[in-house]
Amino acid sequence: MTTVIDGNETAERIEAGVSTCATTLREAGVTPGLATVLMSDDGASETYVSMKQQTCEELGIRGYHHEIDPEEPASALFDRIDELNADPSIHGILVQMPVPDHIDKADVLKRIDPMKDVDGFHPENVGRLVAGNARFKPCTPHGVQKLLAAYDVETEGAEAVVVGRSDIVGKPMANLLVQYGEGGNATTTVCHSRTDDLAAHTREADILVAAAGVPEMIDASMVGEGATVIDVGINRVDADTEKGYELVGDVDFESAKQNADIITPVPGGVGPLTIAMLMYNTVKAASLQSGVPVDLP
Ligand code: GUN
């Protein structure tokens, strides 16, 4: 029998722990604050940001939402980031990606105070992660690590194959799996669009993380017997539904399930963890900035 991972259950447990941290901080006079900045008309981005704001409210974190017209120049976004950097009631800043084409993403990430960079995308935080001294682990790969731990999937000595090399998921995921310590020590391979014979790599994986952004690209023929399959993909594909689309992962679930021992569904797998880990990083940021200790889940 294949185990289907329940991401909502794990996320709720972590969020309960984060909520306790938020209470500890508030009782010490520090209300954790997260600012989200949206500079996009994209429906999916709007949905993600509003889900993040809603979770803040549920966990006792104060959410501040900022929208900037995507036609505005880069300076409008940079000025807003500068204000948020200087505002002591804001402990975490998240600029929803992607930003418009006329803005250089790297300039945005560098602009955010690294102590408030709850995405973990600032070069200083990326460097710390690679060096094995992470301050803010990027939310989605950190969530994958939490799921693997929750389902007792041993990473030490495992063959881990990450499909996708994005800055948001693929690269930090590989960096987490390869580091010393708990949730790491895996023999880690990163595959991508230029990989020769992708299936030959994925079939060897004990832990296969699909994060390529290609709908249902991983099927049973690419999954080794007994593997743990983690699907990070959230792809909108046209469908005859009320909304006109449905969400599918990078894994063909029904097919891959035939070989996998453990597998995440989409939705309800990795997705809920991304928000939980953002909340985790926000209370961690508030704790680091205030000096009030918290017991992170
Ligand atoms: N867009 C898609 N995923 C993310 C994320 O984790 N953080 C930010 N800031 N933008 C995203």
* Torsional class of 152: left (φ above 0), alpha (ψ -120 to 50), beta (otherwise): left
Distance from the Cα of residue 93 to its chain's centroid: 15
Tokens coding 187: 């023999």
Q: Which of 105, 100, 95, 107 is nearest to 34 (CA)?
A: 95
Residues with catalytic annotation? 52, 96, 119
Distance from the Cα of residue 55 to its chain's centroid: 15
Q: What is the domain extent for residue 165?
A: 139-272
pTM for the structure as a whole? 0.97
User: Does 146 share its domain with 227?
Assistant: yes
Q: Is residue 3 part of a domain?
A: no
Single out the residue in 122, 147, 178 at which a domain terminates: 122
User: Does 95 share its domain with 149?
Assistant: no
Tell me which residue has its CA closest to atom 4 in ligand 1. Answer: 97
Q: CB–CB of 146/277 below 8 Å?
A: yes
Q: Is residue 222 part of a domain?
A: yes
Q: Is residue 292 part of a domain?
A: no
Q: Which atom of ligand 1 is nearest to the CA of 119?
A: 7
User: Does 82 share its domain with 171?
Assistant: no
Q: For ligand 1, is residue 250 a contact (CB within 6 Å)?
A: no
Q: Is residue 17 part of a domain?
A: no
Q: Is residue 153 part of a domain?
A: yes
Q: Is residue 131 part of a domain?
A: no
284 CA distance to ligand 1 middle (Å):
18
Q: For ligand 1, is residue 168 a contact (CB within 6 Å)?
A: yes
User: Does 166 share its domain with 65?
Assistant: no
User: Does 76 share its domain with 163?
Assistant: no
User: Does 78 share its domain with 147?
Assistant: no
At 78 the pLDDT is 98
Q: Which residues in the chain come in under a pLDDT of 70?
A: none
At 258 the pLDDT is 98
User: Does 251 share its domain with 147?
Assistant: yes
β-strands 235-238, 245-248 pairing: antiparallel
Q: For ligand 1, is residue 51 a contact (CB within 6 Å)?
A: no
Q: CB–CB of 128/175 below 8 Å?
A: no
Q: Is residue 279 part of a domain?
A: no
Our mutation pick for probing the ligand 1 site, out of 119, 171, 273, counting the most ligand atoms within 8 A of Cβ, is 119
User: Does 145 share its domain with 84?
Assistant: no
CATH number at residue 75: 3.40.50.10860
User: Does 148 share its domain with 75?
Assistant: no
Q: Is residue 133 part of a domain?
A: no
User: Does 168 share its domain with 231?
Assistant: yes
CATH number at residue 258: 3.40.50.720
226 CA distance to ligand 1 middle (Å):
31
d(CA 156, CA 185): 4
User: Does 95 share its domain with 217?
Assistant: no
User: Does 155 share its domain with 255?
Assistant: yes
Q: Which atom of ligand 1 is nearest to the CA of 140?
A: 6
Domain count, the chain: 2
Q: For ligand 1, is residue 38 a contact (CB within 6 Å)?
A: no
